[in-house]
A and B are shown apart, each in its own frame.
Chain A
């Protein structure tokens, strides 16, 4: 196992991990505010088709800026769709689980509808912003060879961790998630804060979706996120609602998924392939069991998670 081999493998791990990390970071903020949005998969797909369509249509006019504009539009489109969810669960007080599932189905349908005309098209990959002598270097590409979205994902999870634990606004957001009635009674607008959190979660899911249609496979295919939204949701629970553990957990999942492929490609056929496919989930159970047995780092699940808040005027 030489250096080049390890670097190649690391690059694959980063590619596999980034979209899950992006979506999970957004959902972490949403859940910290006390709302559970199961629509991540749908919002990712809306982001994927929006990012692709904008880049495809305006690529010639925008030149180098096209993918950036595409990603921003992907974030906006997904954030708008999340506000639809927000209106239903916050203002109208509908069931969050059911509404989130509806958002996923809506996102699958809407993205397929918009995407019908984009099947079979391609756009240039949203590639590394670094010059070729750095990004193409056989060693340094492990740091500089990625799409800007990879760096964005890392910065975002760190900023979210800092925001939630070290800022006053983050404290308020957590307070809303822990005890909405108290937060309301001391004058915070629970609903406004939750709307904002849901919008952030939507935007991040949109960027995660754009990562599929603009970086991994620069094309549009229906339901191309293939269930990653659900993995992101699981990851938030797995992390115990902590940003640091979310980052570690996302890469842990990514490494296991990549290991599965390497094991198969290298001919470790003594284990059935289904075992490798189940590996991330088996490990998740093991890790969760170890964490709860040690009892040192319990979960930080928000107390009001999933509970509708209907303030009486």
Chain B
């Protein structure tokens, strides 16, 4: 925070008089303006919804110090560029672009607005004023995979995915490996639907998986459609990113929860006290940006205990789902016995574990 000296008071007042149309009030006590670029609608009850929850937590936690606004339904194409420019021009000094597909746009616009700090979610390109952040979503998959492995009667579990990108592949593999750890007979049938949001197609994919014998289905798409199909077919599913039990009270066993709030608060604080750096952050359950929803009544005690053990182990670092031996679909060894996979290898994961049928 800079001090209000007479000189800069005059300067800022003059600026305020000169540029009334911009509505710029460059007072020292002015709160930090934080902008968010959202992929979906804040009402998607999933990915964007959880970022929006994080934004609200940020505003509540740093009341008076921070104002935060957002733009929703921003496509992952060139049309994101003017949105980001607008946010920067409105005086936002910390801007979170919350989807992988904003990567190049964020880098490009950040160059033109060097005094704004940019944070790109789930990407890997950084610059002097662009940091990246991600959540260890796969840790939640290890929990749901454990539950799926123990609760499947057909030994066939399903997964409705979006695209074959590392984030989704990690989820598929963590889900499968955790399930196999408690039930070696498990195979995972995988359907990639080539879109993040299309409730009808998500539902049709889940129906297809149920038709070919899956009795627990996980999803990495943006709507609760898969869960609604699970409810109708009397099989089980999980929420992803948010508690979705209201959509499927009987089918919903638990959900991994994206809790971006702590991260957004820490970054805004860093900007406020001048310690912000363009980091590459990959937090998870330990740091509190990933959690689990309560188990449903359908989860028996022994399954709860096994799942709790995974959560506790993840938090204290004694458990890591990507611990060898891990073989891929072709039988090739990917992680040697006893070794933990390195972060760098996880982030480029493009192979499916043995037992994944895609």
Contact = CB atoms under 8 A, between A and B. Distances in A.
Interface of A: 5, 8-9, 11-12, 15-16, 19, 112, 115-116, 119-122, 125, 212, 216-219, 221-228, 257-258, 261-262, 264-267, 269, 273-274, 277
A226 B195 contact: yes
24 contacts: A8-B207, A12-B207, A116-B43, A119-B43, A122-B246, A216-B199, A217-B199, A217-B200, A217-B224, A219-B228, A221-B41, A221-B45, A224-B200, A224-B223, A226-B197, A226-B200, A257-B201, A261-B205, A262-B212, A264-B192, A265-B158, A265-B189, A265-B205, A266-B212
Interface in B182-208: 189-195, 197-205, 207-208
A217 B190 CA distance: 21
B227 to A, nearest CB: 9
B204 A12 contact: yes
B70 interface: no
Contacts of B45: 119-120, 221
B197 A217 contact: no
A274 B208 CA distance: 18
A45 B150 CA distance: 40
Given A261-B191, A264-B192, A226 B201 contact: yes
B44 interface: yes
A216 B358 contact: no
A258 B228 contact: no
Contact of B223 (A15, A125, A221): A221
A222 B43 contact: yes
A50 to B, nearest CB: 17
Given A122-B246, A212-B199, A265 B43 contact: no
Contact of B211 (A8, A223, A274): A8
B194 A125 contact: no
Interface string B46-81: 000000000000000000000000000100000000
A221 B208 contact: no
Contact of A264 (B40, B191, B223): B191
A222 B202 CA distance: 15
B216 to A, nearest CB: 14
Contacts of A225: 200
Given A116-B43, A219-B247, A222-B43, A264 B190 contact: yes
Given A222-B41, A258-B208, A120 B246 contact: yes
Interface centre among B158, B211, B246, by most chain A C-beta atoms within 10 angstroms, is B211
Ranked nearest first, the 6 interchain pairs of A and B with the lowest CB-CB distance are A119-B43, A8-B211, A226-B198, A222-B41, A261-B208, A267-B357
Range for the number of chain B residues in contact with chain A: 35 or more
Contacts of B358: 264, 267, 269
Contacts of A218: 228
B232 interface: yes
Contacts of A223: 41, 197
A5 B210 CA distance: 11
A216 B191 contact: no
Main secondary structure of the interface of A (DSSP, over half): helix
Contacts of A266: 189, 212, 357
Interface in B214-253: 223-225, 228, 232, 246-247
Given A115-B43, A257-B201, 7 more contacts: A16-B204, A119-B44, A217-B228, A221-B199, A223-B41, A228-B200, A265-B208
A292 to B, nearest CB: 29
Contacts of B267: none
Contact of A265 (B191, B225, B246, B247): B191
Contacts of B204: 12, 15-16, 257-258, 261
Given A19-B200, A217-B199, A261-B204, A222 B44 contact: yes
Contacts of B289: none
B164 interface: yes
Contact of A216 (B164, B193, B203): B203
Contact of A112 (B41, B194, B211, B247): B41
Contacts of A227: 198
Nearest to A12: B207
Nearest to A127: B232
A228 B73 CA distance: 18
Contacts of B73: 222
Interface in B275-297: none
Contacts of A125: 232
Nearest to A222: B41
Contacts of B194: 273-274, 277
Nearest to A262: B208
Contacts of A267: 189, 357-358
B246 to A, nearest CB: 6
A290 to B, nearest CB: 27
Contacts of B192: 264, 273
Nearest to A108: B73
A266 B201 CA distance: 17
A85 B41 CA distance: 26
Contact of A222 (B40, B158, B190, B208): B40
Contact of A12 (B44, B198, B208, B223): B208
A233 to B, nearest CB: 17
B79 to A, nearest CB: 14
A211 to B, nearest CB: 9
Nearest to A119: B43
Given A5-B211, A269-B358, A273-B194, A217 B225 contact: yes
A216 B232 contact: no
B24 to A, nearest CB: 30
B213 to A, nearest CB: 10
Nearest to B193: A261
A221 B232 contact: no
Contact of B247 (A16, A115, A122, A274): A122
A211 B222 CA distance: 20
Contacts of B143: none
A171 B192 CA distance: 46
B209 interface: yes
Nearest to B200: A216
A226 B199 contact: yes
